[in-house]
Amino acid sequence: MKPVYVSKTAVVTGFGDDLAALWQGLLAGRSAVGPVRRFRTANYLAADAACVPWLDQAAPGRAMPLLLERLVSGFGSVPAGTRLLTATTKGGVDGFQAQRRSGSASLPAADGHAFCRLVERCWHVHDPTAMNINAACASSTLAIARGGAMIAHGVADAVLVVAADLVSEFVFSGFSVLRALSSDGAHPFDLDRAGLVLGEGAAAILLTNERLARDSETGPLGRLLAWGSANDANHVTAPARDGCGLIAAIQRALAMADRGPEAVAAISAHGTGTVYNDAMELTAIEAVFGDRRLPCHSAKGAIGHTLGAAGAIEVALGLQMLAERTMPPTVGLVTPEPRAEGRVSASAQRIADGCLLSTNSGFGGVNAALLLAAGGDL
């Protein structure tokens, strides 16, 4: 198979409109979580989320277009013939909700097809085969894996993956009904964790073959070495306690890369801060890596759970970690649970030579894993 390079990234999060803002915020141990102002939260379990501040003033149905327009402004053009994959769980459901309340029947970017068309307009890309991948919280992780496969097998020279999700009342109320929201912030891998905090954001990842990576002005940011996915088929919303799906996804990624667990230097974990997700991840980490105390990180205590955009944001962040050989503090961590001690830290950690494992899991039992390497010698 042909090598797959990451040639360009861009992110928008509650910290700001670029990766530098996200990186500095995480290194400083800050949180982008604050009171939700765009809808009333009095009847819900929580009142906070990690929102993009300037989206609070967006008119109904305009938040997603504005978010994508800001994302593309920090990304630039893509090579001719670039293929497109998108990832979102609920797209512009905020606009759909407002229109339904007003009696309108139109559907503004609330489904995958409409979201693809919106992304095409923002990037001036036309790909008749473009598709949206909606695999819950592993959506953009799987989109990046699919894009990597297209390049590895010579189906495409370049694939643009664009992922975005919003903090909408529809989603907020749903997680509240599930009793998954924490009222005092997310505490990933903490002994006293009690739930997640929602966040919003977007990311764009340009995957290319070697020729286009070589022609890039800046050179590749890194390599997508391998990927794996598996479904534990356990429950609509709850992960399998034994971590079987995540274990299988990680093992498939390692097998594809023809590398053993010792090649992994650090882990960018899903780390939602819910009781069962974090326990499942630690079980999977122990199953694959044994007693090794690899540096592990979750961004969700700082930027919230960005749903379908989480994996793509974490890929951009993971490549920065590899470049800096530094893993930022896990914001929200106070007292690590015993199995997290020596792995997850409230302080920055150094990363040794090796690749980074990035994982995400979602409703329906979906699990996905990516292996990333720094730079990309050409």
Reported as a single tens digit per residue, the pLDDT across 24-39 is: 999 999 999 999 999 9
Write down the catalytic residue from 51, 187, 244, 270. Answer: 270
CA 378 to chain centre: 27
Q: Do domains 5-215 and 224-374 have the same CATH topology?
A: yes
Tens-digit pLDDT profile for residues 166-187: 999 999 999 999 999 999 999 9
Q: How many residues does the chain have?
A: 378
Domain boundaries, the chain: 5-215, 224-374
Strands 5-12 and 34-35: unpaired
Whether 297 is a known active-site residue: answer: no
pLDDT greater at residue 58 or residue 10:
10
Task: Give the pLDDT confidence score for residue 11 in this predicted structure.
Answer: 98
Percent of the residues in the chain that have a pLDDT greater than 70, as a whole number: 95
Lowest mean pLDDT among 52-66, 301-315, 338-352: 52-66
Tens-digit pLDDT profile for residues 113-137: 889 999 999 999 999 999 999 999 9
Write down the catalytic residue from 122, 244, 296, 305. Answer: 305
Number of H helices, E strands in the chain: 11, 14
Task: Give the pLDDT confidence score for residue 76 in this predicted structure.
Answer: 83
Write down the catalytic residue from 116, 122, 137, 296. Answer: 137
Tens-digit pLDDT profile for residues 73-93: 989 889 999 999 999 998 878
- How many CB atoms are closer than 10 A to CB 206? 27
Task: Look at domain 224-374 and name its CATH class.
Answer: alpha beta
Task: Give the pLDDT confidence score for residue 216 in this predicted structure.
Answer: 74
DSSP letter for each residue of 277-324: HHHHHHHHHHHHHTT----EE-SHHHH-B-GGGHHHHHHHHHHHHHHH
Q: Give the C-alpha separation, 177 to 180, whole Å.
A: 8
Q: Give the C-alpha separation, 38 to 51, whole Å.
A: 10
Q: C-alpha angle 168/173/175, rounded to 5°?
A: 100
Task: Give the pLDDT confidence score for residue 244 in this predicted structure.
Answer: 95
Q: What value does the mean pLDDT take over residues 210-225?
A: 88
Tens-digit pLDDT profile for residues 88-117: 998 878 776 666 666 655 545 457 788 999
Please give the helix or strand (H or E) that residue 101 lies within, else none.
helix 93-102
What does the mean pLDDT of the chain come to? 93
Whether 124 is a known active-site residue: answer: no
Q: Could you tell me which residues come within 8 angstroms of residue 335 by beta carbon, excluding any fewer than 6 positions away?
A: 190, 191, 192
pLDDT greater at residue 378 or residue 53:
53
Token pair for 165: 């999700």
Task: Look at domain 5-215 and name its CATH class.
Answer: alpha beta
pTM attached to this predicted model: 0.96
Of the candidates 192, 174, 172, which has an alpha carbon nearest to the alpha carbon of residue 35?
A: 172
Of the candidates 196, 197, 205, 93, which has an alpha carbon nearest to the alpha carbon of residue 139?
A: 205
Token pair for 108: 């503004």
Tens-digit pLDDT profile for residues 184-209: 999 999 999 999 999 999 999 999 99
Burial 156-179 (b: 16+ CB within 10 A, else e): bbbbbbbbbbbbbbebbbebbeee
**Which of the 8 DSSP states describes residue 346?**
S
Task: Say if CB 358 and CB 314 are below 8 A apart.
Answer: yes
Whether 153 is a known active-site residue: answer: no
Task: Give the pLDDT confidence score for residue 237 in this predicted structure.
Answer: 80
Task: Give the pLDDT confidence score for residue 24 in this predicted structure.
Answer: 98
